[in-house]
Amino acid sequence: MEPSSGGASRKLRSFLHSPLLKFLLKAGIAAALIAWVIGGDGRAMLHSIRRMNPLWMLLCFLAILGQTAGTAVRWKFLIAKELNVSFSEAFHLTAIGLFANLFIPGGAVGGDVVKATLLASRAGKGKRVEATISILVDRIVGMAGLFLLTLGLLLVFLRRILELPPAAGFLVFVLAMICVGGLLATCVLFFQDFIFRWAPAAKLLAFADRWMRGVPGGIVRSVSAYRSRWRTLGATTVFSALLLHPLLILAMFFALYGELGHLPEAGTTMTAVACGSVAAAVPVTPGGIGTRDAVITTLLSAWGMPESSAATAMILYTAMLLLLDLLCGIAFFLPGARGRGPVVRSGEDGGETAHCRKS
């Protein structure tokens, strides 16, 4: 009986530390937050969505689709040129990654792992590291753009933020600190040559390496190859801040217009949606579902919008996000999802260059 008991104990410990349990816990938190946003009258919300003009739902979806397409374009410019990845391949892998976000326990990170694995399988020997790093850098650039946009909105609409109730104001303050910390971390990654010459900074990195099993140092070393491409990094960050994230804000405007029948206040809506996107980036729930909804609904309600209208528009927005992620699963069945290995051609210098076959 003892060996059996010991085996059961090991299985229990393994389950308690498994990614599946973490995913289930995050999914539970997301479900609880969504239930809180919906409140006790889900039928009234469903009736409100049914009477809404479908045009605003379609426009909301198209804005999110445009943001997804733009994300693929941004990643294409960050992928090393020697990997020779076409725009169609970048779109294809981005779609697969979004679909994987729904079903891989790691959430958005899990989707990135799937993208990295597929791109690495096509990149050829000696290019797998570059393939993986491009996804990491793309994630960093996207977050930097979001943090810049959010901080800019917080400064522009500071007066309205100061009018918030204490609890909502504290929430915005915490999200602002996340933005500042994220931008500082980005600067550390891309200006490490200067920063880590300073002895205290080098000691801090060494301490973080010991505490997190070498992860911070590995990330710092990985992105160092992109420092020579500072123009591309700057351009893609601005592209994210001025186009990609505003497209998500526009999607929420469409959802709110469909619910309210008139345009919501621009400043507070933009600020609330940007703050919600920052909250969604914190890995508390899968893909930020629930976290984003709760933050945006809370802030819009605190700024005077009817809570039922804010919640209805938010649930519609999230539904369009999930619908797009599900439709991206079609990418698994399109040509190129499998069976496309790298080919090697001779370079002009007599060496070998990895080359991905075109569609």
Whats the size of the chain, residue-wise? Answer: 359
Q: What is the pLDDT of residue 214?
A: 63
pLDDT by residue (tens digit) across 235-247? 999 999 999 999 9
- Please state the rounded mean pLDDT for residues 254-266: 94
What b/e sequence results for 127-158 when a residue is b if at least 16 CB atoms lie within 10 Å of its CB, and e otherwise? bbebbbbbbbbbbbbbbbbbbbbbbbbbeebe
Distance CA 328, CA 71 (A): 14
The chain-wide mean pLDDT, for the chain, equals: 82
The whole-angstrom distance between residue 220's C-alpha and the CA centroid of its chain comes to 20
Q: What is the pLDDT of residue 61?
A: 97
Q: Which of 308, 284, 324, 282 shows the shortest CA–CA distance to 49?
A: 308
DSSP lists the bridge partners of residue 346 as 352
**pLDDT of residue 341 exceeding 60:** no
pLDDT by residue (tens digit) across 189-226? 777 666 666 677 667 767 776 776 666 666 666 677 77
Distance CA 287, CA 290 (A): 9
Instruction: Return the DSSP state at 242.
Output: I
Q: What is the pLDDT of residue 294?
A: 96
Q: Which of 106, 109, 75, 112 shows the shortest CA–CA distance to 90?
A: 75
Distance CA 36, CA 118 (A): 38
Q: Is residue 275 a part of any domain in this protein?
A: yes
Q: Is residue 65 a part of any domain in this protein?
A: yes
Q: What is the pLDDT of residue 347?
A: 38
DSSP lists the bridge partners of residue 352 as 346
What b/e sequence results for 85-99 when a residue is b if at least 16 CB atoms lie within 10 Å of its CB, and e otherwise? beeebbbbbbbbbbb
pLDDT by residue (tens digit) across 19-40? 667 778 888 888 899 999 988 6
What b/e sequence results for 194-207 when a residue is b if at least 16 CB atoms lie within 10 Å of its CB, and e otherwise? ebbeeeeeeeebee
- Please state the rounded mean pLDDT for residues 159-176: 96
Calculate the alpha carbon distances from 302 to 12, 51, 139, 175, 340 in Å: 44, 26, 31, 16, 52
* Percent of the chain residues topping a pLDDT of 90: 43
The total of structural domains in the chain comes to 1
Q: Is residue 15 a part of any domain in this protein?
A: no
- Please state the rounded mean pLDDT for residues 59-82: 92
Distance CA 19, CA 107 (A): 10
pLDDT band at 14 (very low <50, low <70, confident <90, very high): low
Q: Is residue 164 a part of any domain in this protein?
A: yes
Q: Which of 235, 223, 82 shows the shortest CA–CA distance to 140?
A: 223
Phi, psi of 342 (to 5 degrees): -80, 150
**pLDDT of residue 343 exceeding 50:** no
**pLDDT of residue 65 exceeding 70:** yes
Residue type for position 354 = A
Structure tokens at 149: 């946009």
pLDDT by residue (tens digit) across 169-196? 999 999 999 999 999 988 877 776 666 6
Q: Is residue 2 a part of any domain in this protein?
A: no
pLDDT by residue (tens digit) across 270-296? 999 999 999 999 888 888 899 999 999
Domain with 95 in it: 41-356
Write the burial class of residue 65 (CB in 10 Å: 0-12 exposed, 13-18 middle, 19+ buried): middle
Q: Is residue 231 a part of any domain in this protein?
A: yes
* CB 86 within 8 Å of CB 94: no
Q: Is residue 11 a part of any domain in this protein?
A: no
pLDDT by residue (tens digit) across 300-328? 999 999 999 999 999 999 999 999 999 99
DSSP lists the bridge partners of residue 353 as 345
pTM over 0.85: no
**pLDDT of residue 9 exceeding 70:** no
pLDDT band at 262 (very low <50, low <70, confident <90, very high): very high
pLDDT by residue (tens digit) across 97-112? 888 877 665 555 667 7
Q: What is the pLDDT of residue 121?
A: 77
Structure tokens at 294: 């709760």
**pLDDT of residue 149 exceeding 90:** yes
Structure tokens at 251: 């999607």
Q: What is the pLDDT of residue 209?
A: 67
